[in-house]
Amino acid sequence: MSNLIKENNIFEEVEKRCQSFIESDPLINAYRKKEWEGYFHKAELLTEREEGIKEGEKNKAISMVKTMRNKNMDINLISEITGLSIEEIEKL
């Protein structure tokens, strides 16, 4: 059977025509476009989610700073615990 396939290149011709049909079909192209749009939309949503998480973490740190400052904790220790700079802490 493998000799038949090797000797008869009709299979290669069929494969070429199928590939040509798939690549030029407007329906397939529309599907691919939709698929890519969906992919990039998901990537945008992930980025927005990551930004929201970072902002939430920053807000939590600010809240902790205010509580620690009210307890008269050392500013260097507050910086070490929260990850905020001393300048950021002094502004609060």
The C-alpha R_g of the chain, in whole angstroms, comes to 30
Domain count, the chain: 1
Angle at 46 between CA 85 and CA 37, to 5 degrees: 145
Model pLDDT, residue 5 = 53
How many Å apart are CA 53 and CA 58, to the nearest integer?
A: 9
CB 84 within 8 A of CB 61: yes
Full domain range(s) for residue 76? 2-91
pLDDT in tens, 16-42: 776 776 666 676 677 777 777 776 667
How many Å apart are CA 51 and CA 55, to the nearest integer?
A: 6
Does the predicted model carry a pTM greater than 0.75?
Answer: no
